[in-house]
Chain A
Amino acid sequence: MSSFAGTARLIRFILRRDRLRIPVWVLAIALSVLGSVASFAATYPTAADRQVRADVMDSATARLFTGPGYGIDDYTYGAMTANEMLPFTAVAVGLMSIFLVVRHTRAEEESGRAELVRAGAVGRHAVTAATLIVVGGAHLLLCALLTIGLPASLDGLSTGGSLAFAAALAGVGVVFAGVAALTAQLTVSARAAVGIASVVLGVAYLVRAAGDIGGSSLSWVSPFGWSTEIRAYVDERWWPLLLSASATALLAAGALAITGRRDVGAGLIADRPGPAGASRTLRSPFGLALRLQRSSLMWWSVSLFLLGLVYGGIAEEAGELYEDLDALQDYLARIGAAAATDQYLALTLFISAMIAVGYAIQSALRLRTEESALRADPILASPVGRWRWAGSHLAVALGGSVVLLLAVGAGTGVTRAIAAEDAGQLPRLIGAALAYAPALWVFAGLAAALFGLVPRAVGVAWAAFGVLAFVGMMGPLLQLPDWIYDLSPLEHVPRLPVAELSVGPELALTAMAGALTAVGMFAFRRRDIAG
């Protein structure tokens, strides 16, 4: 099998390159599952509490997030884990597969580095095979961590059940590793390979959701359906794993068959020719920044709009849950008394804004990406000052943040307005979402400041985001002191639509964002361009 020659060596090479990346993915997913499950016990201390929760989870809209609802009649912590953690975590696991697989296959070819490797004593199939083995190994590792880590002491959890839960996740993971291995064969662009695989993932998720909501067998078409049908913690059965395994084998065989036939660097779908000249809008630094970032902005906006639709749609049922749970009274007291639905919407807008922070950072750090790729040089060697170049990308980051909030507010507003039969909900929720804009700007400003002052350490912005997300998720469980919350810009935004809009904090955040951005721009003007 000389077409697999070099696979073992490539496995070591991939492990060396990803010695941090893979552990971070695996640990982040494992810890968020373990942390959430641990918080169940604090939030729903009694069986009665859990049953209240089960009633909410039994609704049609909730099935979008959960599954067919196995164990809903006796809602143990195990059933809760399987219902509420599995589909979401499976999405994260699927994305981990897609990013890792494309990174080591198509991205390497696109950069030209693959030629160095393939010119060695390396078979045609070795790169794809080594990548799939490493990613499969990462899923096994995650599986082991979850099986060991999930507490069997909780009511309804058992080691066997945890193994089934973890295996269900691994099943989704390996299927999407196969999907990504296949989409990596299709186009010459790594971004497009990730994009197509992500669309497949999104469609698979929605097919499962549609099947579960309608109570039909449609779910069986989707890898996500196979994972929920394992019925972890409730009535375990293992044979759906065979479906995942067979699908993975088919996809991997397809990918290998294509790599065996095609040229290195080529895709099945040829790159379409583009315009022979630049349009009028492209001929400015801002036009360029917008062009480079527009597809990312579009995907973020669509995703957050859809998320908003879901949140708005289930707000009423979810809000009722709040009133019935003692454990949430502290939280409610903190954000102020109001109608339960509004309480829930205030929370979902907060979560949506936290997600949008990811965009603000990513978009602002495009500056660093461009600089590192030596693509800043030709622009800065033309009569474009550093302020104008950096300002163009930051303008996209700041403006794009507003667009995202608009999208999530509109999504939430549309379904909420329909449910409440009150068109006024739409502008009300858009306004509530937009209140977070200054907080997002602070993160974009932080990224800009890092870019100007310590360009090698721009990753600190992502670390700050990670800490923010961790505190947001785990804070109530760990009973963190208030000052830690106060560090987060998001916490200073009034929780609309429950709280009133107050101008003071908004102005303070805007000023802070402006100061950070200015520091970054001034520092950038004084430093060398990397190259």
Chain B
Amino acid sequence: MLPPISVAQLFKSFGRTRALDGLDLTVATGEVHGFLGPNGAGKTTTIRILLGLLHADAGEARVLGSDPWDEAVALHRRLAYVPGDVSLWPNLTGGEVIDLIAGLRGGLDRGRRDELLGRFDLDPTKKGRAYSKGNRQKVALVAGLASDAELLVLDEPTAGLDPLMEAIFKDCIREAKAQGRTVLLSSHILAEVEELCDRVSIIRLGRTVESGTLAELRHLTRTTIEAETAQPPAGLADLPGIHNLEAKDGRVRFDVDAGRIDGVVRHLAGLGVRALTSHPPTLEQLLLRHYGEAPATETESGSES
């Protein structure tokens, strides 16, 4: 059986701006997949191609086994979409919009809808123009989550939500996963992805730069070690795999390549360790490694906001 989402070598340009430049993405059944990248990396463009709203210039995209452009309608019965930038009809109430969107898909679960309204603390009788950005986001979330779609496509769904609502959102995603649904979650909020996702694809300038479980990605990176030693940390700088060494008042701090940790720890032990902390790289550091070196180029593709 094909994975719910499989994308290979996807290209898309808007005029002279190249939004997607050979993007690859595979999402397996039942997983929560983080789709990570900075603004303008091509996340929204990819998602809109997966929904059949845009036509890819080249490359292959399959969603639930079908072509998203040709089979859009049949496909949309089986997936739910929550846009990142939610725009509501000014004179329709939130409740009307939820019923409309979920009703068009079919399979609106009334009980689930009302339960979600309660959990997200959303008043469904307000008109679209009266909602704040966070509340507009909630309308789209309730409409998406109230359905029994097997695939959830969420484009930066927590922008505008407060921390309390974000926690509720995370619960909902865990429940969806427990029900066996597949989730594609685009985000630039690293903590969210770290907490929720089984696997992550990181994209930059329209191209996938990393893809795998968080453990797999961490293995590519360095570990940060901070230590307080009895003797001055002589010779540390000469060890292979050490980066960004800082030493001050008997304390050292450095990054070390994953394969070199053993040798470094042995060396530290000889110096008389008084305190030691080490931590795996955060996704911030993963991203920094990919984007930190050339931040200026990120502004080139402005197709995504």
Q: Does A282 contact B (CB under 8 A)?
A: yes
Q: Does A283 contact B (CB under 8 A)?
A: yes
The answer to whether B83 and A378 have CB atoms under 8 Å apart is yes
A271-B73 contact given A378-B83, A378-B140, CB 8 Å threshold: no
- Using an 8 Å CB-CB cutoff, how does the interface string of B35-74 with A read, 1 for contact, 0 for none? 0000000001000100111110000000000000000111
- Shortest Cβ gap from B179 to chain A (Å): 20
The answer to whether A278 and B103 have CB atoms under 8 Å apart is yes
Q: Does B95 contact A (CB under 8 A)?
A: yes
The answer to whether B93 and A275 have CB atoms under 8 Å apart is yes
The answer to whether A375 and B87 have CB atoms under 8 Å apart is yes
A531-B48 contact given A110-B129, A383-B106, CB 8 Å threshold: yes
State how many residues of chain B have any CB contact under 8 Å with chain A: 42
Residues of A within 8 A of B89 (CB): 292, 375
The answer to whether B87 and A373 have CB atoms under 8 Å apart is yes
- Using an 8 Å CB-CB cutoff, how does the interface string of B243-282 with A read, 1 for contact, 0 for none? 0000000000000000000000000000000000000000
The answer to whether B76 and A378 have CB atoms under 8 Å apart is no
Measured in the bound complex, the distance between the Cα atoms of B158 and A206 in whole Å is: 53
Q: Does B227 contact A (CB under 8 A)?
A: no
The answer to whether B91 and A189 have CB atoms under 8 Å apart is yes
Q: Does B18 contact A (CB under 8 A)?
A: no
Measured in the bound complex, the distance between the Cα atoms of B24 and A255 in whole Å is: 57
Measured in the bound complex, the distance between the Cα atoms of B126 and A283 in whole Å is: 18
- Shortest Cβ gap from B50 to chain A (Å): 10
The answer to whether B74 and A374 have CB atoms under 8 Å apart is no
- Shortest Cβ gap from A60 to chain B (Å): 41
- Using an 8 Å CB-CB cutoff, how does the interface string of A254-273 with B read, 1 for contact, 0 for none? 00000000000000000101
Residues of A within 8 A of B143 (CB): 378
- Using an 8 Å CB-CB cutoff, how does the interface string of A372-409 with B read, 1 for contact, 0 for none? 01110111111111100000000000000000000000
Minimum CB distance partner of A528 in chain B: B54
The answer to whether A189 and B90 have CB atoms under 8 Å apart is yes
Q: Does A285 contact B (CB under 8 A)?
A: yes
A274-B93 contact given A378-B81, A383-B76, A531-B48, CB 8 Å threshold: yes
Q: Does B210 contact A (CB under 8 A)?
A: no
Residues of B within 8 A of A377 (CB): 48, 51, 53, 81, 83
Q: Does B177 contact A (CB under 8 A)?
A: no
The answer to whether A381 and B127 have CB atoms under 8 Å apart is no
Q: Does A504 contact B (CB under 8 A)?
A: no
Q: Does A276 contact B (CB under 8 A)?
A: yes
For chain B, residues 95 to 126, give those with C-beta under 8 angstroms from any C-beta of chain A: 95-101, 103-106, 123-126
Residues of B within 8 A of A249 (CB): none
The answer to whether B93 and A378 have CB atoms under 8 Å apart is no
Minimum CB distance partner of A388 in chain B: B73
The answer to whether A275 and B96 have CB atoms under 8 Å apart is yes
- Shortest Cβ gap from A138 to chain B (Å): 27
The answer to whether A382 and B53 have CB atoms under 8 Å apart is no
Measured in the bound complex, the distance between the Cα atoms of B88 and A288 in whole Å is: 13
Q: Does B226 contact A (CB under 8 A)?
A: no
Q: Does A9 contact B (CB under 8 A)?
A: no
Q: Does A184 contact B (CB under 8 A)?
A: no
Measured in the bound complex, the distance between the Cα atoms of B48 and A373 in whole Å is: 16
The answer to whether B96 and A278 have CB atoms under 8 Å apart is yes
Residues of B within 8 A of A291 (CB): 92
The answer to whether A529 and B53 have CB atoms under 8 Å apart is yes
- Using an 8 Å CB-CB cutoff, how does the interface string of A342-384 with B read, 1 for contact, 0 for none? 0000000000000000000000000000000111011111111
Residues of B within 8 A of A191 (CB): 90-91
The answer to whether A384 and B95 have CB atoms under 8 Å apart is no
The answer to whether B127 and A275 have CB atoms under 8 Å apart is no
Q: Of B72, B81, B95, which is within 8 A of A276 by CB? A: B95
Q: Does B167 contact A (CB under 8 A)?
A: no
Residues of A within 8 A of B140 (CB): 378
Q: Of A274, A284, A285, A381, which is within 8 A of B96 by CB? A: A274
The answer to whether A383 and B124 have CB atoms under 8 Å apart is no
Q: Does B290 contact A (CB under 8 A)?
A: no
Measured in the bound complex, the distance between the Cα atoms of B123 and A386 in whole Å is: 31
Residues of B within 8 A of A526 (CB): 55
Q: Does B174 contact A (CB under 8 A)?
A: no
Q: Does A481 contact B (CB under 8 A)?
A: no
Measured in the bound complex, the distance between the Cα atoms of B103 and A375 in whole Å is: 16
Residues of B within 8 A of A275 (CB): 93, 95-96, 125
The answer to whether A283 and B100 have CB atoms under 8 Å apart is yes
Q: Does A430 contact B (CB under 8 A)?
A: no
Minimum CB distance partner of A385 in chain B: B73
The answer to whether B92 and A273 have CB atoms under 8 Å apart is no
Q: Does A72 contact B (CB under 8 A)?
A: no
Residues of A within 8 A of B53 (CB): 377, 380-381, 528-529, 531
Minimum CB distance partner of B101 in chain A: A378
The answer to whether A271 and B129 have CB atoms under 8 Å apart is yes
Measured in the bound complex, the distance between the Cα atoms of B122 and A277 in whole Å is: 13
Q: Of B51, B83, B92, B126, which is within 8 A of A374 by CB? A: B83
Q: Does B218 contact A (CB under 8 A)?
A: no
- Shortest Cβ gap from A521 to chain B (Å): 15
The answer to whether B96 and A277 have CB atoms under 8 Å apart is yes
Q: Does B85 contact A (CB under 8 A)?
A: yes
Residues of A within 8 A of B98 (CB): 277-278
Residues of A within 8 A of B124 (CB): 276-277
- Shortest Cβ gap from A150 to chain B (Å): 42
- Using an 8 Å CB-CB cutoff, how does the interface string of A164-195 with B read, 1 for contact, 0 for none? 00000000000000000000000011010000
Residues of B within 8 A of A380 (CB): 51-53, 72
Residues of A within 8 A of B93 (CB): 273-276
Measured in the bound complex, the distance between the Cα atoms of B55 and A228 in whole Å is: 60
Measured in the bound complex, the distance between the Cα atoms of B124 and A379 in whole Å is: 19
Measured in the bound complex, the distance between the Cα atoms of B99 and A382 in whole Å is: 12
Residues of B within 8 A of A378 (CB): 81, 83, 101, 140, 143
Measured in the bound complex, the distance between the Cα atoms of B80 and A119 in whole Å is: 37
Measured in the bound complex, the distance between the Cα atoms of B153 and A377 in whole Å is: 13
Minimum CB distance partner of B54 in chain A: A528
Residues of A within 8 A of B95 (CB): 274-278
- Shortest Cβ gap from B149 to chain A (Å): 10
**Chain A contacts to B: CB under 8 angstroms:** 110, 188-189, 191, 271, 273-278, 282-285, 288, 291-292, 373-375, 377-386, 526-529, 531
14 extra A-B contacts, CB within 8 A, seeds A188-B130, A383-B76, A384-B76? A191-B90, A271-B129, A271-B130, A276-B93, A278-B95, A278-B99, A288-B100, A375-B89, A382-B76, A386-B72, A527-B55, A528-B53, A529-B54, A531-B53
User: What are the nearest 10 A-B pairs in CB distance?
Assistant: A278-B99, A273-B125, A274-B93, A382-B104, A276-B95, A381-B81, A374-B87, A283-B103, A383-B76, A529-B53
- List 8 A-B pairs, Cβ < 8 Å: A110-B90, A191-B90, A277-B95, A278-B95, A284-B104, A374-B83, A377-B81, A531-B48
